[in-house]
Chains A and B, each alone.
Chain A
Amino acid sequence: MSDVPVVANVQALLERIDTLPSPSALALRLVTTANDETSDVRDLVAIIQQDAALAAKVLSLCRRGPRGRALDVASLDRAVVLLGFGAVRAAALAVEFIGSFPASGAMATSGFDSMRFWRHSVAKSIVAEAASKFVRGAPGAGRPSVVGLLHDLGALALSRALPALCDRCCDEAERLGRDFDDVVADAVGLSASAIGGRVAARWSLPDEITESLRMRGALALAAQGPHRPLVLLAQLADIVVRQRHVGGAGFGPGAEPLPPLFDALAIDATRFAAAVASLFDDLAARTEALGFASPPGAALAAESLDRANRRLGLARHNPDATFADISDELAAATDPASVLSCIVRQIGRQDGRPADADARVLAVSPAAEGPGCEVREFSRDGALVASRIAGEGDLDGAVTVRRWCQLRAPTGTPRHLAVAQRGATLVTLYRADGDVIPLTVLDQMPVAIWAFALGAALDRERARRAAQRSADAARLLAACRDKIAKDRALASVGELAAGLAHELNNPLTIASGRAQLLRRAATDATAHELDEIVEAAERASALVASLLRIARPLKPSCCEVDASAIIVLALRVLPAVVDLNRVIVAATLNQSAPIACFADPAQVAEALAEVVQNALSATASSRAQISAECDARADRCMISVRDNGPGFSERGLAHAVDPFFSERSSGRGTGLGLARARTLVEASGGSIELRNEASGGATVTIVLRRCAKVTSGVTIDEESTCRTEVAPLQDAV
Chain B
Amino acid sequence: MAVDRSQQQSERGKWTGKQVFTTGEAADICKVSQQTIIRCFDSGRLNGFRVPGSRFRRIPRLELVRFMRMNEIPLDSLGDDRRRILVVDDDPQIIALVEDCLKGERFEVRSAATGYDAGILTEQFRPDIILLDYMLPDINGSVVCDRIRGNLEYTGTRIIFVSGVADDEEVQRLLKSGADAFVRKPFRADDLLRTIERLLET
**Chain B contacts for A514, CB-based, 8 A:** 97
0 or 1 for each of B90-133: is its CB under 8 Å from A? (1 = yes): 01011001101100000000000000000000000000000000
0 or 1 for each of A522-545: is its CB under 8 Å from B? (1 = yes): 000000000000100110010011
Cβ contact within 8 Å between B101 and A506? no
> Is A638 on the interface with B (CB-CB < 8 A)?
no
Cβ contact within 8 Å between A509 and B167? no
Cβ contact within 8 Å between A545 and B166? yes
> Is B135 on the interface with A (CB-CB < 8 A)?
yes
Classify chain B: how many residues form its interface, as a range: 20 to 34
Cβ contact within 8 Å between B97 and A513? yes
How many angstroms between the C-alpha atoms of A562 and B107 in the bound complex? 53
**Chain B contacts for A130, CB-based, 8 A:** none
Shortest A609–chain B CB gap in Å is: 18
Which of the candidate stretches A59-67, A382-390, A475-483, A494-502 sits at the interface with the other chain? A494-502
Interface residues of A in 12-40 (CB under 8 A from B): none
Q: Which of A517, A541, A554 meets B186, CB within 8 Å?
A: A541
Cβ contact within 8 Å between B166 and A497? yes
Cβ contact within 8 Å between A517 and B100? yes
> Is A235 on the interface with B (CB-CB < 8 A)?
no
Name the residue on A nearest B169 (C-beta).
A554
**Chain A contacts for B185, CB-based, 8 A:** 505-506, 508-509, 541
> Is A75 on the interface with B (CB-CB < 8 A)?
no
How many angstroms between the C-alpha atoms of A35 and B36 in the bound complex? 157
Given contacts A508-B185, A538-B186, A517 and B101 within 8 Å (CB-CB): yes
Given contacts A509-B185, A509-B186, A513-B187, A548 and B164 within 8 Å (CB-CB): no
How many angstroms between the C-alpha atoms of A512 and B163 in the bound complex? 14
Q: Which of B101, B135, B165 meets A513, CB within 8 Å?
A: B101
Shortest A421–chain B CB gap in Å is: 69
Shortest A733–chain B CB gap in Å is: 38
Given contacts A509-B94, A510-B97, A554 and B187 within 8 Å (CB-CB): no
How many angstroms between the C-alpha atoms of A508 and B167 in the bound complex? 17
Cβ contact within 8 Å between A501 and B93? no
Cβ contact within 8 Å between A554 and B168? yes
How many angstroms between the C-alpha atoms of A554 and B168 in the bound complex? 8
How many angstroms between the C-alpha atoms of A534 and B135 in the bound complex? 23
> Is A424 on the interface with B (CB-CB < 8 A)?
no
> Is B188 on the interface with A (CB-CB < 8 A)?
yes
**Chain A contacts for B166, CB-based, 8 A:** 497-498, 501, 505, 541, 544-545, 548-549
Cβ contact within 8 Å between B167 and A502? no
**Chain A contacts for B101, CB-based, 8 A:** 513, 517
Shortest A542–chain B CB gap in Å is: 9
> Is A687 on the interface with B (CB-CB < 8 A)?
no
Interface residues of A in 600-629 (CB under 8 A from B): none
How many angstroms between the C-alpha atoms of A512 and B190 in the bound complex? 12
> Is A82 on the interface with B (CB-CB < 8 A)?
no
Interface residues of B in 158-181 (CB under 8 A from A): 163-169
Cβ contact within 8 Å between B189 and A516? yes
Name the residue on B nearest A512 (C-beta).
B186
| Interface SS of chain A | helix
**Chain B contacts for A505, CB-based, 8 A:** 163-164, 166, 184-186
0 or 1 for each of A648-685: is its CB under 8 Å from B? (1 = yes): 00000000000000000000000000000000000000
Q: Which of B91, B163, B188 meets A516, CB within 8 Å?
A: B188
How many angstroms between the C-alpha atoms of A537 and B184 in the bound complex? 13
> Is A511 on the interface with B (CB-CB < 8 A)?
yes
> Is A504 on the interface with B (CB-CB < 8 A)?
yes
**Chain B contacts for A501, CB-based, 8 A:** 164-167
How many angstroms between the C-alpha atoms of A549 and B166 in the bound complex? 8
**Chain B contacts for A537, CB-based, 8 A:** 186
Classify chain A: how many residues form its interface, as a range: 20 to 34
0 or 1 for each of B182-202: is its CB under 8 Å from A? (1 = yes): 001111111000000000000
Cβ contact within 8 Å between A506 and B165? no
Given contacts A510-B93, A517-B100, A502 and B187 within 8 Å (CB-CB): no
Given contacts A508-B185, A513-B187, A538-B186, A552 and B167 within 8 Å (CB-CB): yes
How many angstroms between the C-alpha atoms of A510 and B89 in the bound complex? 13
How many angstroms between the C-alpha atoms of A514 and B99 in the bound complex? 12
Cβ contact within 8 Å between A502 and B186? no
Cβ contact within 8 Å between B186 and A511? yes
How many angstroms between the C-alpha atoms of A555 and B185 in the bound complex? 24
Cβ contact within 8 Å between B164 and A517? no
Shortest B94–chain A CB gap in Å is: 6
Shortest B169–chain A CB gap in Å is: 7
Given contacts A516-B189, A541-B186, A506 and B91 within 8 Å (CB-CB): yes
Name the residue on B nearest A554 (C-beta).
B168
Name the residue on A nearest B168 (C-beta).
A554
How many angstroms between the C-alpha atoms of A508 and B187 in the bound complex? 9
How many angstroms between the C-alpha atoms of A222 and B186 in the bound complex? 124
Name the residue on B nearest A513 (C-beta).
B97
How many angstroms between the C-alpha atoms of A720 and B111 in the bound complex? 51
How many angstroms between the C-alpha atoms of A309 and B186 in the bound complex? 103
Cβ contact within 8 Å between B186 and A498? no
Name the residue on B nearest A548 (C-beta).
B166
- Please indicate which of the listed interface residues A501, A511, A555 has the most CB atoms of chain B within 10 Å of its own CB: A501
Name the residue on B nearest A497 (C-beta).
B166
How many angstroms between the C-alpha atoms of A498 and B134 in the bound complex? 13
Cβ contact within 8 Å between A513 and B169? no
Shortest B188–chain A CB gap in Å is: 7
Cβ contact within 8 Å between A502 and B169? no
Name the residue on A nearest B103 (C-beta).
A517
A–B Cβ pairs within 8 angstroms, 23 of them: A501-B167, A502-B134, A502-B163, A505-B166, A505-B184, A506-B93, A506-B94, A508-B185, A509-B97, A509-B186, A510-B93, A510-B94, A512-B186, A512-B187, A512-B188, A516-B188, A516-B189, A517-B97, A517-B101, A534-B188, A541-B164, A552-B169, A555-B169
13 further A-B contacts with Cβ under 8 Å, apart from A510-B91, A541-B164, A544-B166, are: A502-B165, A505-B163, A506-B185, A508-B164, A509-B97, A509-B187, A512-B186, A512-B188, A513-B98, A513-B101, A516-B190, A534-B188, A552-B167
- Please give the residue numbers on chain B whose beta carbons come within 8 Å of chain A beta carbons, in ascending order: 91, 93-94, 97-98, 100-101, 134-135, 163-169, 184-190
The 9 closest A-B pairs by CB, nearest first: A505-B164, A501-B166, A509-B186, A512-B186, A545-B166, A509-B185, A505-B185, A513-B97, A508-B186
- Please give the residue numbers on chain A whose beta carbons come within 8 Å of chain B beta carbons, in ascending order: 497-498, 501-506, 508-514, 516-517, 534, 537-538, 541, 544-545, 548-549, 552, 554-555
